[in-house]
Amino acid sequence: MSVGIIGTGHYVPEKVVTNFDLEKIVDTSDEWIRTRTGIEERRIAEDTMDTSDMAYLASVNALEDAGVKAEDIDLIIVATVTPDTAFPSVSCMIQDKLGAKGAAAMDLSAACSGYMYGMVTAKQFIETGVYKNILVVGVEKLSKITDWSDRNTCVLFGDGAGAVVLGEVTEGKGILSFELGADGSGGKYLFQDEDYLSMNGREVFKFAVRQMPESSVNVVEKAGFKKEDVDYLIPHQANIRIMEAARERLGIAEHKMATSVKKYGNTSSASIAIALSEDVKNGKIKDDDLVVLVGFGGGLTWGALALRWGR
């Protein structure tokens, strides 16, 4: 059985916070942020909107795009490190809001790699015939664990949600290969310290510029293709320099890589899902394209997959 994406959706908050806005809060500059990260602005959710609200809105869009009713969803997997509460899970909250009464529901935590872990987990359930339609959501409200007085981290992050519906697709399409990994010894480089996110930027950068390109090449080769066969790359939208390292390793043109980081910043587990949804809708990803998704995150964790786009 071939398993692939049959619907995409995303949601980002309306409130835009630019680099110039941050200049008024901390000792930084638009030029410094842009040249080092590629970020120009980010979206921040209002206090009245929580993680589950964004997840719900992205999910509604994905279900509509897939032409699947909520009652036809068998499982909901939500990747997040910023749930509304420790429990009930965000997945249970959106199961109720969607009216997906027959769906099992669980949250998954792998930081920025969470969406990749969720996709691969969903694939196994469908391949084995246990479930038919699975909703996978990557969502974060990072603004609530961001220290807005720390200029090294507050410039990086934003809020948002991306969702996909996975199901059976035409043979030869869908997810062709994947890779998941973790290195717990690097957990000290990116973690939540009491109330706020804390990061050793230098160490995380070194890890990411090595792992993202390596994983990208690995999944292409596992799928039986060469780097030259890749049509589109969607890396985790963390830092343009890290993303460029993966693109250059694959040897693909700039216009064949998703770059929503400049508009939304790093939205952690939501970033790949948002970029995918946007670029499908704007026509950058076409039927039969060989697409690589790759991410890394706290843990340290990483994940990648190659897929042939189409239903």
Q: What is the pLDDT of residues 210-251, one digit of tens each?
A: 999 999 999 999 999 999 999 999 999 999 999 999 999 999
What is the bridge-based pairing of β-strands 134-141 and 75-79?
parallel
Give percent of the chain above pLDDT 70.
100
> What pLDDT score was predicted for residue 277?
98
Clarify whether 266 is annotated catalytic.
Answer: yes
Same domain, 116 and 222: no
Same domain, 193 and 163: no
Report the DSSP beta bridge partners of residue 159: 141
Split into its structural domains, the chain has a count of 2
What are all long-range contacts of 95-103, with beta carbons under 8 Å and residues at least 24 apart? Answer: 97/52, 97/56, 98/56, 98/59, 98/60, 98/63, 98/70, 98/73, 99/70, 99/71, 100/70, 100/71, 100/73, 100/76, 100/135, 101/71, 102/71, 102/73, 102/74, 103/73, 103/74, 103/75, 103/76, 103/135
What CATH number does the domain containing 211 carry?
3.40.47.10
Given a cut of 90, is residue 139 above it in pLDDT? yes
Clarify whether 92 is annotated catalytic.
Answer: no
Same domain, 155 and 184: no
User: 144, 169, 194 — which closes off a domain?
Assistant: 169
Output the pTM of the full model. Answer: 0.97
Report the DSSP beta bridge partners of residue 190: 199
User: 153, 169, 185 — which closes off a domain?
Assistant: 169
Q: Which of 10, 112, 154, 239 is catalytic?
A: 112
Domain region containing 119: 2-169
Q: Percentage helix, strand, coil, to 5, in the chain? A: 40, 25, 30
User: 113, 139, 169 — which closes off a domain?
Assistant: 169
Residue pLDDT, tens place only, 164-206: 999 999 999 999 999 999 999 999 999 998 899 999 999 999 9
What is the bridge-based pairing of β-strands 232-235 and 290-297?
parallel
> What pLDDT score was predicted for residue 125?
98
Clarify whether 236 is annotated catalytic.
Answer: yes
Q: Which of 10, 92, 133, 236 is catalytic?
A: 236
Are the C-beta atoms of 102 and 40 separated by less than 8 Å? no
Closest C-alpha among 36, 25, 287, 275 to residue 148: 25
Same domain, 132 and 196: no
